[in-house]
Structure 1
Amino acid sequence: MTDSQGNDSRRAGTFLGAALAFATTMIGTTLPTPLYPLYQQTFGFSQLMITVIFAVYAAGVIAALLITGRWSDQLGRRPLLFAGLVASALSDLVFWHADGLGMILAGRVLSGVSAGIFTGTATVAVMELVPASWERYGTLVATAANMGGLGLGPILAGVLAALFPMPLALPFIVHLILAVVAVICVWRAPETVDRPERIRLSVQKLKVPAEVRGVFVPAAIAAFAGFMVCGFFTAVAPAFLGDELGYTNHALIGFVAGVLFLASTVGQMVQGRLPETGRLPIGCAILLVGVVIVAWGIAGAQLAGFLLGAIVAGVGQGIAFRAGLGAVAAASPDEHKAAVVSTFFVVAYVAISVPVIGIGLVGSVLSLNATGLAFDGLVALLCCVALVLLLKRKKGQAA
């Protein structure tokens, strides 16, 4: 083996290690999803409280994104990755020993902080560590680590809860072990940033310049709709499967919740093969079809419809999100790009949290079935609005 081959091999190892750390952190953020019915039984939580528990995660994500979003450029990638893994491990410990609402809320916030740190920092770190011979796979691996990790979390927890004792502890113990492995991977990875002599830490500002709004608004609406569906499946799907469809197997609940994110990964991977101007409309259209199928599954109490809808909606969400993010970044002036992209992510994480609290509130008055159908109708309406705006913009450009 030549020196260059050996260096490339070592770089591939650190690259995959960074991707593993990224995936591990994202797994931890969706780990509680199939366990929510158990928390309800153990602590007597209402469905509204379950949606609140889920939503505080997004508050942690948004806070970390805004506060630490630019810190890795100053402090280096590795310190921020270590901080994210520490937050993830602390979340595991808190959930493992949770004895009530306060600790569960704290665990979710810590989980959100870990995701907020990793969303920006780990994506850049993975791209920077990719070996030359693997360069074309860098974005693909970063995407798979992010969304794939989110999808594997519920599946892992569901299987462990269904097959082994201590269902409210074992998933977090297993994840804690994975987090230790991730720390070792980050420890072995080289730093890719040269620290400036004078470190300036600042909070990321939110901004959408006037010249970007024509691109930003339809992309943000599509992202909002897609992340609403993500929030629905990770926060409320367990209750629908149990209360409305009669399925209480934790492995099944985890699979249904996780398959949406795995499908989103596929959508993000294939969007580059679509015509550039058609990516976002195609994603919106597929997402619209997906939520219609989900509505059919809810109305007819059909597991097949619920599952098929999750897959189709996930593919559409993945295409629309990556296409929208790319369009927004491309349309933004360099001096405002970070602020615009951060604003886009904040819109997405507001969508994953606030609407599901609305489901909890409405669901306390109406049936979950009626609430779910209304929610699907709102997502479908947003998809249609985004499609109309995109078509108008396309006609305006062609004129």
Structure 2
Amino acid sequence: MPLHRPVTAAPSRGPLDPGRRLRFRATAYTLLVLLTGTNLPTPLYRGYQAQFGFSPLVVTLVFAVYVAVLIPALLVAGPLADAVGHRRVLLPAVAVAALGALVFALARDTAWLFAARALQGLALGAALGPLTAALTELEPRGDQRRAALVSTVASVGGLGLGPVLAGLLAQYAPAPRVLPFAVEIALLVPAAAAIRALPAGRSGVRWRPRRPGVPRELRAVFATSGTTGFLAFAVTGLFLALVPAYAATLSGSGNLVLGGAAVALLLCCSALAQLAGHGRPSGTLERAGLPLLAAGLALLALAGGVSSLPLLLAATVVAGTGHGLAYLGGLSAVNQAAPAGRRADVLSTFYVIIYLGVGLPVIGVGFLASVTGLLLAVQSFACVVAVLCLVVLAALGRTRRRASGPVPGGADGGSGRPHLTRRAGGR
């Protein structure tokens, strides 16, 4: 990518290609379904605990196995998709996702849960980078901001839809730990058909697995956007793994829909915040999202202290809004700055940072919960991450002041974004 090129690509104004538009929508559907499937187990863990007899720590370890497999898959699949084409990576990923759902449906003990989560991690890790890159390449008018918005909304939509769908089916339908995964397998069939419509391959790019890394000119973007994304998804990991049990403790109710609804509310607010923030500069979104994340976490800790379910819901709304703004800002910055020939690779590296945020902190919370109890562990986590959000916010402010000088050639179309000549980091 030439250094004088603006970060934001101008949308094409030519006639729309109906086939390209259909492939774009089908790719977004595939991303939505894969993320829905990986989050179906969230409200079911308490039932598995009762059936198989394990502790909250085991829940976090099951969750962590998913992340431990997902990250190497991201590192291999991103550059592989750049070399051989998205379709050749995505079709096996969908097949592995269906196998993971089948293992969950047939689970007979805790080992089955670990195996199923590992398969889900492998599938999503292989698919995330290529799907996000495909959305950028297939956006009908070449609008990279819209591609990033669709990617983030589909992602958080799947994260939120999975717990609600599984909670409803498990609470009110027969076969509570089988039917949700049968539905997932059915939804993956049209996803596989959609992937078959993608281009077959790409020539001239040599594949080799890479360690996490980004081009030198993008490192400033990753220093800020990656840290922001890590913190945002540390909050998501907490909600996915432990907040359903936290909500049940505060409410005294064992209804499975309640736990799934708490997660869904976080992610619904995230999606709405992203829609409201679409088109704004990425740095503005990050600086708005971080203090909201901190405020939501403070309310989450307070909710446990006073045993208030309404306060927990208020915390969820505020944290979800902050999550959406921070996530959209980070992904937009990385998506627009990534070189076309390494887009899936760069985005896969960004998702490594995201999923480290999902997996690592919640393991610590699980260990702490085994010593202090769930309420105190969640409160401690919330306070620490809230402080870190404010630290990163201060760092973003300093970055903005250092990069606030005049830009040769002017800003990018009035969007408020700097050119890459400022290392794409001032945003």
What TM-score, normalized to structure 2? Answer: 0.84
2:57 to 41, 45, 48: 48
Partner residue, 1:385: 391
1:85 maps to what in 2? 94
Distance 1:16 1:252, change over 3 A: same
1:278 and 2:284 correspond: yes
Distance in 1 separating the partners of 2:225 and 2:258: 33
Moved more, 252-261 or 230-239: 252-261
Task: Give the equivalent residue in structure 2 for 1:252.
Answer: 258
Which blocks of at least 5 consecutive residues in structure 2 are unaligned?
Answer: 1-13, 406-427
For residues 245-278 of structure 1, the C-alpha deviation after alignment (integer angstroms, 9 at most, x for no partner) is 3132111211111222222222333333445542
CA apart distance, 1:226: 0.9
Separation in 2 of the partners of 1:115 and 1:234? 16
> Are 2:165 and 1:156 aligned?
yes
Aligned counterpart, 1:165: 174
Asked if 1:217 is matched to 2:226, the reply is no
1:168-224: CA deviation from partner (whole Å, max 9, x where unpaired): 11100111111122222323x241x64327x74311332367775554333333222
Residue matched to 2:195? 186
1:150 deviates by: 1.4
Q: 1:217 to 1:15 in 2, by over 3 A?
A: closer
- Say if 1:141 and 1:223 are closer, same or farther in 2 by CA, change over 3 A: closer
Contact 1:241 1:248 in 2 (8 A): no
Out of 175, 196, 199, the residue aligned to residue 203 of structure 2 is 196
Tell me whether 1:227 sits opposite 2:233 in the alignment: yes
CA distance in 1, matches of 2:288, 2:236: 18
2:79–2:207 Cα contact (<8 Å) kept: yes
Equivalent in the alignment of 1:146: 155
Structure 1: runs of 5+ lacking an equivalent: none
Aligned residue in 2 for 1:206:
212
Q: Distance in 2 between matches of 1:136 and 1:389?
A: 24
Are positions 1:311 and 2:320 aligned together?
Answer: no
* Cα distance between partner residues in 1 of 2:120 and 2:97: 5
1:65, 1:116 within 8 Å by CA — same for their partners in 2?
yes
Q: Aligned with 2:174: secondary structure?
A: coil
Higher deviation after alignment, 25-34 or 238-247: 238-247
Cα separation, 1, equivalents of 2:340 and 2:153: 27
Question: Structure 2 matches for 1:114-129, cutoff 5 A?
Answer: 114-129=123-138
2:175 aligned partner, one-letter code: M
Match of 1:21 in 2: 30
1:50 Cα deviation from its structure 2 partner: 0.5
CA separation in 2, counterparts of 1:213 and 1:127?
21
**1:53–1:369 Cα change, 3 Å:** same
Which SS does the other structure have where 1:201 is aligned?
Answer: coil
| CA shift digits 1:5-31 (9 cap, x unpaired) | 9x9444433332222222111111111
Does 1:242 find its partner at 2:248?
yes
Residues 268-327 of structure 1: per-residue CA shift (max 9 Å, x gap):
333334455422211111111211222222222222222222222122112112212344
Contact 2:69 / 2:118 at 8 angstroms: preserved in 1?
Answer: yes
User: Which residue does the alignment assign to 2:8?
Assistant: none
State the identity as a percent: 36
Q: Is the 8 A contact 1:204 1:342 kept in 2?
A: no
Counterpart of 2:363, as a letter, is: I
Q: Is the 8 A contact 2:20 2:140 kept in 1?
A: yes
Change (3 A) 1:304 1:328: same
2: distance between equivalents of 1:370 and 1:257?
Answer: 20
Letter in 1 for 2:314: L
In 1, Cα distance between equivalents of 2:67 and 2:243: 18
Q: Is the 8 A contact 1:36 1:238 kept in 2?
A: no
Question: Is residue 174 of structure 1 aligned with residue 183 of structure 2?
Answer: yes
Whole-angstrom CA distance in 2 between matches of 1:136 and 1:391:
23
Distance in structure 1 (CA, Å) of the matches to 2:310 and 2:135 = 37
Aligned residues: 392
For 1:42, the aligned partner's letter is Q
Q: TM-score, normalising length from structure 1?
A: 0.89
**Counterpart amino acid of 1:161?**
A
Aligned partner of 2:402 in structure 1 is 396
Q: Which residue of 1 aligns with 2:421?
A: none
Q: Is the 8 A contact 2:136 2:142 kept in 1?
A: no
The alpha carbon displacement at 1:379 in A equals 0.9
Task: Tell me if the contact between 1:25 and 1:149 (Cα under 8 Å) persists in the aligned partners.
Answer: yes
Mapping of residues 102-121 of structure 1, within 5 Å: 102-121=111-130
1:69–1:204 contact (8 Å) kept in structure 2: no
Is 2:163–2:261's contact at 8 Å kept on the other side of the alignment? yes
Query: Which amino acid in structure 2 is aligned with residue 285 of structure 1?
Result: P
Would you say the 8 A contact 1:206–1:339 is kept in 2? Answer: no
The Cα of 1:155 is off from its aligned counterpart by 0.7
Q: Any idea what the Cα deviations from partners look like across 1:223-247, whole Å, max 9, x if unmatched?
A: 2211110000000012112234313
Give the alignment's Cα RMSD to 1 decimal: 2.8
- Aligned partner letter, 2:226: A
Q: Quick one: distance in 2 between partners of 1:390 and 1:370?
A: 31
